[in-house]
Every structure is written in C-alpha cells, then in structure tokens.
C-alpha cells in the first residue's frame, strides 16, 4: 500500500477494516431514562475539568436504548452526565459511559472522546415500571426505576434541553503513553424529533465497583425522573479547548 493510499483511507482503526463507518450517525426510536440526583459538591469538583464550571451539585444518570443507529446497530448504554457551564452557556459534561457494543465504543472514543467502557446495561418495562440496570463483570453496579408514563411533559421544553451542548475530554496517548491529544470537545444533538416525554416517581441505587466507579458520585437525593422517546442525529464534534497548547 502506497503512502498516499494510507493517508486517503486512514479515518479509523483498523486501517483495512474499520470498526465503524464515517458519520453522521442517525438514531431512530432512541429511548432515555434520565434520573437527576443531588450529589456531593466536592466530589463533583474533583472530576469536572476546567474550564467547565459547576453551578449545582447535580448529576444526570442516563439509561439509553438505541435499537436502530446508523453504523452502530442495536445497543444499550448508561452513564453519568454532569450539568455544567462553558463560557456562560449551559450544557452537560459526559463523565462516564458503559455499553454493550464494540462499534460505538470504538467510534465514540476515537471520534469525540466519549468515556466509553464495555459492560452490560439494560433498559426495559416490567409491568408498571421502567427499569434501567448496569452490570459490570457480572456485578450489579446501578439500578434505576421510574413509574411508567405517569405525566406527560411539554415537548418544546424537552427539545430545548436536548439541544444544549455536551462536552467530553478526548485523550489519545502517544506511543510512550504520554498524551498526544488532550482536548475538551463539544457536540450537539441535531434533527431532533421528540416522539414522547414523560415524568414520574424515580429511584436510583449505585454500588461500588473498582472499575465502574459510578458510586463515587453518591446519590444524596433524587430530584426527577424523565422518560423520552426520540429520533436524532449525533453531530460531529469540535475542539473548544486544547490542554496541551500551553
């Protein structure tokens, strides 16, 4: 293979058989269970990188079913998003993500810097309850529950919240394990269609695990539980801060 051919084809790993196709990535019938809870402010400050700012000690714990996603297929994901501000604009910092499909793990880490790890999450309805779980190495790490479709939410308000920017820390190591890339990346959800949105009583349990430390941001009080059904496009990212530029 010639040098020019390498450069032309090198958009993802492995070179001759990438784990995912180029974006954009469209999601149909993407379903969310989002439980917002109050946590310890000092512990929150230890994990949110500058220049992001925190107003309140809140965390959004998300369980997401994605049955139809371009290039990534059918999978389930869960993790923590922390409400933040960047240059005065509200958004969310993606702190942790656990999912059960190789393609979005590889694509999420390589393109945007999503903090994705392989695990076994689930989201399902059992009788009158929406239930989200996370198992890591056979150990139950998180359980979220919500009363199923108790009260409808205003769709315009929900859409406004989903259109806020999201941030993550993209880290790519050099061959000597020093950081080659260390950037704050911003992305948006676009082409949104909100098919349904509901709220209801919610509960969340997080359990300690050495390699899935979601419980390091403990649940002190559940503030809300929301259930969403959407179609959307995951927009490609942009670098808003380069930590190595100093």
Q: How far apart are CA 229 and CA 77, in angstroms?
A: 15
Q: How far apart are CA 92 and CA 6, in angstroms?
A: 36
In the block, residue with structure tokens 């949104």: 192
Q: How far is CA 168 from CA 122, 194, 225, in A?
A: 23, 24, 23
In the block, residue with structure tokens 């198992």: 135
116, 117, 127, 149: the catalytic one is 116
Residue 6: partners with Cβ closer than 8 Å, 6 or more residues away:
15
State phi, psi for 43 to the nearest 5 degrees: -70, -35
Whether 132 and 138 have beta carbons less than 8 Å apart is answered as no
Q: How far is CA 127 from CA 148, 151, 169, in A?
A: 9, 17, 39
- Catalytic: 8? no
Write the DSSP symbol of residue 130. Answer: E
Active site residues: 116
């Amino acid at each position: 293979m010639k040098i020019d051919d390498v450069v032309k084809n090198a958009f993802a790993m492995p070179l001759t058989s990438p784990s995912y196709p180029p974006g954009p990535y469209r999601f149909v019938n993407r379903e969310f269970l989002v439980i917002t809870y109050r946590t310890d402010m000092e512990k929150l400050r230890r994990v949110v990188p500058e220049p992001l700012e925190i107003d309140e000690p809140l965390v959004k714990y998300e369980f997401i079913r994605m049955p139809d996603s371009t290039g990534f297929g059918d999978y389930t994901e869960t993790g923590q998003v922390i409400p933040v501000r960047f240059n005065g604009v509200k958004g969310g910092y993606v702190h942790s993500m656990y999912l059960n499909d190789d393609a979005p793990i590889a694509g999420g880490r390589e393109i945007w810097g999503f903090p994705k790890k392989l695990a076994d999450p689930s989201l399902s309805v059992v009788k009158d309850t929406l239930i989200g779980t996370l198992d890591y190495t056979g150990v139950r790490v998180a359980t979220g529950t919500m009363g199923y479709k108790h009260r409808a939410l205003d769709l315009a308000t929900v859409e406004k919240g989903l259109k806020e920017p999201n941030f993550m820390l993209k880290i790519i190591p050099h061959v000597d394990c020093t950081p080659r890339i260390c950037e704050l990346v911003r992305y948006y959800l676009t082409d949104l269609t909100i098919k349904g949105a509901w709220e209801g009583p919610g509960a969340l349990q997080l359990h300690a695990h050495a390699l899935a430390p979601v419980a390091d941001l403990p649940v002190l009080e559940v503030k809300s539980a929301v259930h969403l059904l959407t179609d959307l496009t995951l927009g490609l990212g942009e670098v808003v801060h380069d930590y190595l530029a100093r």
